[in-house]
């Protein structure tokens, strides 16, 4: 099967969109922005605060496409931990236990760990795809 010439660029677009959404989850936890009724700013010393810091910093690095593979590995692991500690105890099905985003992000970041950032990235500029 032949790949489209746009495939590498769409890889970068997927990374950019996923990272943008991921950063919003992190800033919501640590700064309360964008606001949400049950996510007030939390202290970094809590599990939720630590998650917010990892999501914000890791998401920004993914947005830039900088150190993509190792950062994606860490973020994938964070989402696996989030799923199994916070969602899986509430039931088997992600749609029922509220873990859809954690499961999707886990595998999206695992994909980038293997696939790399794509051509629109700081890693590509550094010659480290």
pLDDT digits (tens, 9 = 90+) for 24-70: 999 988 888 887 655 667 777 888 889 999 999 999 999 999 999 99
Would you list the domain boundaries of the chain? 9-117
Return d(Cα 116, Cα 123) in angstroms, integer. 9
Bigger pLDDT: 45 vs 15:
15
Q: In sequence order, what are the residues at sequence separation of 6 or more whose Cβ sits closer than 8 angstroms to the Cβ of residue 84?
A: none
Which tokens belong to 9?
A: 């660029």
pLDDT digits (tens, 9 = 90+) for 114-129: 999 999 999 999 988 7
pLDDT digits (tens, 9 = 90+) for 105-115: 999 999 999 99
């Amino acid at each position: 099967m032949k790949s489209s010439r746009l495939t590498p660029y769409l890889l970068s677009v997927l990374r950019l969109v996923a990272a943008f959404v991921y950063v919003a989850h992190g800033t919501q936890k640590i700064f309360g922005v964008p606001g949400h009724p049950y996510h007030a700013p939390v202290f970094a010393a809590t599990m939720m605060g630590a998650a917010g810091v990892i999501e914000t910093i890791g998401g920004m690095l993914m947005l830039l496409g900088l150190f993509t593979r190792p950062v994606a590995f860490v973020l994938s692991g964070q989402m696996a931990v989030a799923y199994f500690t916070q969602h899986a105890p509430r039931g088997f099905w992600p749609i029922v236990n509220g873990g859809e985003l954690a499961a999707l992000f886990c595998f999206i970041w695992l994909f980038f760990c293997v696939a790399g950032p794509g051509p629109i990235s700081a890693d590509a500029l550094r010659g480290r795809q």
